[in-house]
Structures are given as structure tokens and as C-alpha cells.
Structure 1
Amino acid sequence: MSLFSGTISTLESAMNYSSMKQKVISQNIANVDTPNYKAKDVSFRSSLQMAVNAQFEGRRTDSRHFNFQGYAGSGAPVKIRNAAYNHNGNGVDLDKEMADLATNQIYYNALTERINGKFNTIQTVIKGGK
């Protein structure tokens, strides 16, 4: 039986995703004037699938069964958006990037509040409710 039932590791994975998204958004903003730079984005669906696959282990009882292997990579998949918003071939929409930055910040703050709540609960249990 797991002590934390996977909640803390799930929150950790979500924070890793948010951190990767922050880095990608920062790179896009930093390259807003770079000619022919194509904006990048982090795919949540792919990140979620990697996290789910990494948590499950399968046992093959027949050679025809699929082999369940966890993902060994450390980073989230990054896809390139092929739209050009500027005359120099740059694909960064600064307004969209700033909106994504604000959304990601709110998401990250909510995750930190939730993980702090989990740790406070554990601390309360260890202290015996005092």
C-alpha cells in the first residue's frame, strides 16, 4: 500500500510539465524578433500519456500481448507551430505567448498550493493533530 496513493508524484509530474511549458514560452518570447524562428509548444496530451505509461507495468502472459514499457525520457514533447506572424518569417505571436504565460503561472500557483496542502496534512498527522 502506498503511503501517499500517488497524489504527490502526480502533482510533481504536473509541476514538471508546467516548468517545461514555462521554458518553452520564455524561449518563444526571447526569440520574438529572430528571423524565421518558429514558435514551440508543449503538448499536454503527450505529456499526460507519458506520465500514465510510466506509472504502469505490465506482465506478458502471451508473446502476442503488447509489451508495456514506461517512457524513459525526461522532457515533455515539444511541437513546432508552423505559422508566420511577422514579415521576416517569425512564428511567434507575442499576445498569445503572454496569455499562455499568465495561464501557466496560474496553473503552477494552483499546483504549489495543492502540494503545500498535502504536506501540511502530512505534517499535521505526524504531529498528532496539534
Structure 2
Amino acid sequence: MNIFPQSIHSLEQALSTSTLKQRVLSSNIANVETPNYKSKQVDFKAVLENATNNQSMASYKTNATHISFGSETTQLNPSIKVNNTTTNKPNGNNVDMDFEMAELAKNQLWYNAVTERINGKFNSLRTVISDGR
């Protein structure tokens, strides 16, 4: 029996993806001077596009152009991709510190927004449980 709405599970996945992205970005920044280190990125967009293209997430749609989403929890696992296409430094390292810091800031904003949203969901549940008191 699932007592939480689907939206909480979706937000949980968003938080997990953001946490993974934070770890990958931190690793890139920590290895900015490591010879032959190749930067890594979390590729969640490709996983989401693959799921929507395969129609593995089915739901009721009011318009044919709407994206389908399932009533059951669909586990979308992001992958980590290594960037072997560029070399920014003579030592073979391709970590661009400006890019990594910008991505870190974007990820922090995303994490904060998702955290606020999930807090709102739990506050709504708390209000329902306490009969609105």
C-alpha cells in the first residue's frame, strides 16, 4: 500500500538526481588540476527522453501532444557520462572551472526549489493528518 502521492515519489527522484549531480560536479572541481582527468556530467535528460519516446510512462492524455506520465512510479535512473571530446589544458585535463561553478549554482537552485516543494507537500499532509489544526 502506497500512502504517499505520486508527486512525492517524483520529487524524491529529483532530489536523488540533484544529489548525484552535486557529487559529480564536486568531483570535477576537486580534480581540476589532475593530469588526464576527464570531466563527467549527469545525463538525466537522455534518460527522460528515452522513457517518453518508448512510451513507458502511460497515462490519460487530453491532447495528443501531451507527454505521458504513469500512475505508477517509473524509476528513471540518470547516467554519468565522461566527456572525452575536449582537452582544455596541456596536461590532458578538460575541467572548465567556470562551467563547473555555473552548473553547481544551477544545481543548488534546483535542489532548493525541489526541497521547498517537497516540504510543502509534507506540510499539506501534516495539516490533513491534524484535521486542519
Shorter-chain TM-score: what band? 0.7 to 0.9
Q: Which amino acid aligns with 1:15?
A: L
What's 1:7 paired with?
Answer: 7
Structure 2: runs of 5 or more not aligned? 59-72
Is the 2:28–2:40 Cα contact (8 Å) retained in structure 1? yes
Structure 1 position 39, deviation (Å): 0.2
Secondary structure (helix, strand or coil) at the match of 1:38 reads coil
Structure 1 position 79, deviation (Å): 0.5
| Cα gap change, 1:8 to 1:71, in 2 (>3 Å) | closer
Give me the whole-angstrom Cα distance separating, in 2, the residues matched to 1:49 and 1:5. Answer: 23
Over the matched positions of the two proteins, sequence identity in percent amounts to 50
Q: Say which of 76, 79, 97 aligns to 1:77.
A: 79
Q: Would you identify which runs of 4 or more consecutive aligned residues in structure 1 move more than 4 Å?
A: 49-53
Matches within 5 A, 1:1-130: 3-48=3-48, 76-82=78-84, 83-130=86-133
Q: Which amino acid aligns with 2:45?
A: R
CA-to-aligned-CA distance 1:35-68 (integer Å, 9 cap, x gap): 1100000002244368879x869xxxxxxxxxxx
Structure 1 position 84, deviation (Å): 0.8
Is the 1:8–1:115 Cα contact (8 Å) retained in structure 2? yes
Secondary structure (helix, strand or coil) at the match of 1:123 reads helix
Count of aligned pairs between the two proteins: 116
| Cα gap change, 1:115 to 1:71, in 2 (>3 Å) | closer
CA-atom RMSD, angstroms? 2.9
Structure 1: runs of 5 or more not aligned? 58-69
Give me the whole-angstrom Cα distance separating, in 2, the residues matched to 1:46 and 1:16. Answer: 16
